[in-house]
A and B are shown apart, each in its own frame.
Chain A
Amino acid sequence: MRKSLQRIWSLSIKEFIHLRNDWWLPAFMILGGVLELVAIGWATSRPISNLPLMVLDQDRSPASREVITALENTGTFELDSYVGDMQSIEQALELGQINAAVIIPPDFGGEIASSSGQATLAVILNGAESIPATSALRAIEGVSREMGQEILLERLGSGDDALAEFEPSLRVWFNESLNEALYTTPAEAALMLEFTVLLFAALSFSRERELGTLEQLLVMPFSSLEIIIGKSIPVMVIGFVDFLLMLAMVHFVFDVPIRGSLALLLILAVGYLMVELGKGLVISVISKTQHQAFLVVMVIGMMDFMFTGYAVPVESMPEFMQSVANLIPAHHWLAIVRGIMLKGAGLDALWPHILLLAILGLVIGTFSLRFVRRALD
Chain B
Amino acid sequence: MKSNGIAALAQDLVKRFGDFTAVAGMNFEVYRGEIFGFLGPNGSGKTTTIRMALGLLTPTSGSVEVLGVPVDGNTHALRPRIGYMSQRFSLYNDLSVLQNLQFYGRAYGLSNHELKEGVEDALVLAGLEGREKVKTHELSGGWRQRLALGAAILHEPEILFLDEPTAGVDPLSRRDFWDLLYGLIEKNITVFVTTHYMDEAEHCHRLAFIQSGSRIVYGSPAEIKEEVMPGQVLELAPSDTGKTIQVLREASDRLKIDEVELYGSLVHVFGPQMEDKLDAIINTLRDAGHDPGQASLVEPSLEDVFIASIK
Asked if A220 and B92 make an inter-chain contact with CB atoms under 8 angstroms apart, the answer reads: no
A7, A13, A22, A215 — which one has the most chain B CB atoms within 10 A of its CB? A215
Asked if A7 and B92 make an inter-chain contact with CB atoms under 8 angstroms apart, the answer reads: no
B82, B91, B99, B106 — which one has the most chain A CB atoms within 10 A of its CB? B106
**Contact A21/B94 with A219-B79, A221-B79 known, Cβ cut-off 8 Å:** yes
Which one of B55, B90, B94 lies within 8 Å of A22 (CB-CB)? B94
Asked if A216 and B89 make an inter-chain contact with CB atoms under 8 angstroms apart, the answer reads: yes
**Contact A222/B107 with A18-B92, A215-B86 known, Cβ cut-off 8 Å:** yes
Asked if B56 and A220 make an inter-chain contact with CB atoms under 8 angstroms apart, the answer reads: no
Tell me, yes or no, whether A213 is within 8 Å of chain B by CB. yes
Cβ–Cβ < 8 Å partners of A10 in chain B: 102-103, 106-107
Q: B49-91 interface mask toward A, CB cutoff 8 Å, 1 = contact, 0 = none?
A: 0000011100000000000000000001001101010111111
Tell me, yes or no, whether A44 is within 8 Å of chain B by CB. no
Which one of B54, B87, B109 lies within 8 Å of A212 (CB-CB)? B87
- Which chain A residue lies CB-closest to B151? A216
**Separation of A49 and B74 alpha carbons in the complex (Å):** 71
Cβ–Cβ < 8 Å partners of A149 in chain B: none
**Separation of A224 and B66 alpha carbons in the complex (Å):** 21
**Separation of A221 and B76 alpha carbons in the complex (Å):** 6
Query: What's the minimum C-beta distance from B167 to chain A, rounded to whole angstroms?
Result: 13
Cβ–Cβ < 8 Å partners of A22 in chain B: 94
Cβ–Cβ < 8 Å partners of A3 in chain B: 109
Asked if A220 and B94 make an inter-chain contact with CB atoms under 8 angstroms apart, the answer reads: no
Query: What's the minimum C-beta distance from A13 to chain B, rounded to whole angstroms?
Result: 7
Asked if A7 and B107 make an inter-chain contact with CB atoms under 8 angstroms apart, the answer reads: yes
Which one of B55, B94, B102, B108 lies within 8 Å of A18 (CB-CB)? B94
**Contact A220/B86 with A17-B95, A18-B92, A215-B56 known, Cβ cut-off 8 Å:** no
Cβ–Cβ < 8 Å partners of A228 in chain B: none
Tell me, yes or no, whether B309 is within 8 Å of chain A by CB. no
Asked if B109 and A7 make an inter-chain contact with CB atoms under 8 angstroms apart, the answer reads: yes
- Which chain B residue lies CB-closest to A210? B89
Asked if A221 and B107 make an inter-chain contact with CB atoms under 8 angstroms apart, the answer reads: yes
Which one of B88, B95, B106 lies within 8 Å of A7 (CB-CB)? B106
Query: What's the minimum C-beta distance from B229 to chain A, rounded to whole angstroms?
Result: 37
Interface size class of A (residues with CB under 8 A): 20 to 34
Cβ–Cβ < 8 Å partners of B93 in chain A: 211
B96-121 contacts to A, CB under 8 A, are 99, 102-104, 106-109
**Separation of A11 and B79 alpha carbons in the complex (Å):** 17
**Separation of A211 and B95 alpha carbons in the complex (Å):** 13
**Separation of A135 and B91 alpha carbons in the complex (Å):** 59
Asked if B87 and A17 make an inter-chain contact with CB atoms under 8 angstroms apart, the answer reads: no
Asked if B54 and A221 make an inter-chain contact with CB atoms under 8 angstroms apart, the answer reads: no
Q: A1-27 interface mask toward B, CB cutoff 8 Å, 1 = contact, 0 = none?
A: 001001101110110011001100000
**Contact A220/B107 with A17-B95, A17-B99, A215-B56 known, Cβ cut-off 8 Å:** yes
Cβ–Cβ < 8 Å partners of B108 in chain A: 220-221
- Which chain A residue lies CB-closest to B148? A216
- Which chain B residue lies CB-closest to A18? B94
Asked if A216 and B103 make an inter-chain contact with CB atoms under 8 angstroms apart, the answer reads: no
Asked if A221 and B80 make an inter-chain contact with CB atoms under 8 angstroms apart, the answer reads: yes
Asked if B89 and A213 make an inter-chain contact with CB atoms under 8 angstroms apart, the answer reads: yes
Lowest 6 A-B CB distances belong to which pairs?
Answer: A212-B89, A10-B106, A221-B79, A21-B94, A219-B84, A3-B109
- Residues of B near any A CB (own CB < 8 A): 54-56, 76, 79-80, 82, 84, 86-95, 99, 102-104, 106-109
Known: A219-B54, A219-B79, A220-B107. 8 other contacts (CB 8 A): A10-B107, A212-B87, A213-B89, A215-B86, A218-B56, A220-B79, A222-B107, A223-B76
- Residues of A near any B CB (own CB < 8 A): 3, 6-7, 9-11, 13-14, 17-18, 21-22, 211-213, 215-216, 218-223
